[in-house]
Amino acid sequence: MFFKGVKMRLLAAIPLLTALAAFGDEASSSRPETSSQQPVAATPYRFEVVSGDPGEQGERLSAVLGCIGCHTLDLTGEDWTEPELGVLWTANLTQSAVVYSEEELTTMISEGKRPDRALMDMPSYLFSELHPDDIAALVSYLKTLPAKGVVHPDPTIGPTLAKQIESGYFKDSVQQVAEMKDKAPPDLGPEHAYARFILRATCAECHGMDLQGSTEPLMDAPPRPGLQIVAAYSAEDFSTLMKTGKPIGDRELKLMGGVSRWRYSRFTDSEIEAVYDYLLALARRGP
């Protein structure tokens, strides 16, 4: 996503502050070895499978990947309209799941486009390298949801957003996918490739593909740190942070607290372990 000053783009991070996070088959995830030079796109990793029911698996992934923050708790969408930006709604996913086929929903998630146009700010670049089975599980989950609410209007472009589009400052979801193609967190070797895959789809949203953090304002939250900060955590402390949002010192984190409780608490223990080991290696590597 990341959110270049248009309020909609800024607020879209709030799977993140407000919500449970939701979007958004078989035994368990595999971690096949790959060359350390391979891009994420070439790796067959997927999130750990905790249910043989694709819908149940998709519900977990919808939480981990964080859709409720943009589409609301019941996935019926939200009005992000501002006069200078335009009429801007996030989709009612319960209605989209009825209108669009599984193939079309897959394209919307991973490529940022629906049959008639590019999506405005769907963070598909984060999901463009997901394993096909993970996307299929997400789509299966969406297809189980009963349709409710209304179909929201297509976007209109206000004067400020029009200027940002013309200048290239604002990029739609298809452009973001193209721009971020083959980009991923630092390659720390095949033993950390699985965690690199997880981080690309999740933590890179706030901390950047390089995981160095950002000083760009995000509502009233402080700057996001570089994730080398994890070197200060024991494995137990890091697991507590992921599951409860509580860092060392039992403080309340304005942004990460919500992200952890509603998104990352749904990580499996093995996923948390893999991410921790990667971030320790990243810290030890240095700048």
Domains of the chain are 7-179 (no CATH), 190-285 (1.10.760.10)
pLDDT (0 to 100) of residue 7: 35
pTM of the model: 0.81
SS3 194: helix
The alpha carbon of 168 is separated from its chain's Cα centroid by a whole number of angstroms, namely 23
Distance in angstroms (rounded) separating the CA atoms of residues 125 and 131: 13
Looking at residue 217, its pLDDT comes to: 63
pLDDT of residue 274: 97
C-alpha to C-alpha distance for 26 and 16, rounded to whole angstroms: 29
Angle (CA) 57-61-64 rounded to 5° is 145
What counts of helices (H) and strands (E) characterise the chain? 15, 2
The predicted structure's pLDDT at residue 219: 60
User: Can you tell me the distance from the alpha carbon of 90 to that of 221, in angstroms, rounded to the nearest whole number?
Assistant: 23
pLDDT score of 83: 87
Mean pLDDT by runs of 10 across the 287 residues of the chain is: 33 31 33 38 80 92 86 86 89 93 95 92 93 95 94 90 93 94 94 96 92 75 83 95 90 80 93 97 88
